[in-house]
Amino acid sequence: MERLWIAHVEDIPKLRSRTVRVGGMEIAVFKLSSGELYAVENRCPHKNGKLSEGIVCDHLVFCPLHDWRIDVKDGLVQAPDEGCVATFPVEVEASGQVYLIVNKDVLSA
């Protein structure tokens, strides 16, 4: 596992996201209204819409292309649609530094 610095917690506005490219994958880090941070692959499984451009409501992000709802906590698409996206752990230090935790295979992709 690799721990990658991506931002300071204040750099990510609530109900918005920050994107980061890791290897060949783009990852969106979302800040919920509670201040919690979650990271998911920045690609809707339906038509590859950029989830980072979607609207965040509670713990769901709505794909900007066709309004599919994806839970940023577990990556699952909500019914009646089906599918999932990869999720990644996020760590926030007491200093506010935000780190993304990824497998080495993601780095080499």
Range of the domain at 95: 2-103
- Global confidence as pTM: 0.93
Kindly report, residue by residue over 39-50, the tens digit of the pLDDT.
999 999 999 999
Counting the structural domains of the chain, the total is 1
Residue 90 domain-assigned (yes or no): yes
Kindly report, residue by residue over 96-109, the tens digit of the pLDDT.
999 999 987 776 66
The answer to whether residues 26 and 53 touch, using CB atoms and an 8 Å cutoff, is no
Kindly report, residue by residue over 54-83, the tens digit of the pLDDT.
999 999 999 999 999 999 999 999 999 999
Domain of residue 29, CATH code: 2.102.10.10
- The first and second tokens of residue 90, run together, are 């996020």
Residue 109 domain-assigned (yes or no): no
Residue 108 domain-assigned (yes or no): no
Angle at CA of residue 56, ends 52 and 60, nearest 5°: 100
Q: Which pLDDT value is given to residue 3?
A: 94
- The first and second tokens of residue 20, run together, are 């980061």
- The first and second tokens of residue 101, run together, are 């935790």
Q: What is the mean pLDDT of the chain?
A: 94
Instruction: For residue 107, give every residue at least 6 positions away whose Cβ sits within 8 Å of its Cβ, in sequence order, or none.
Output: 2, 22, 23
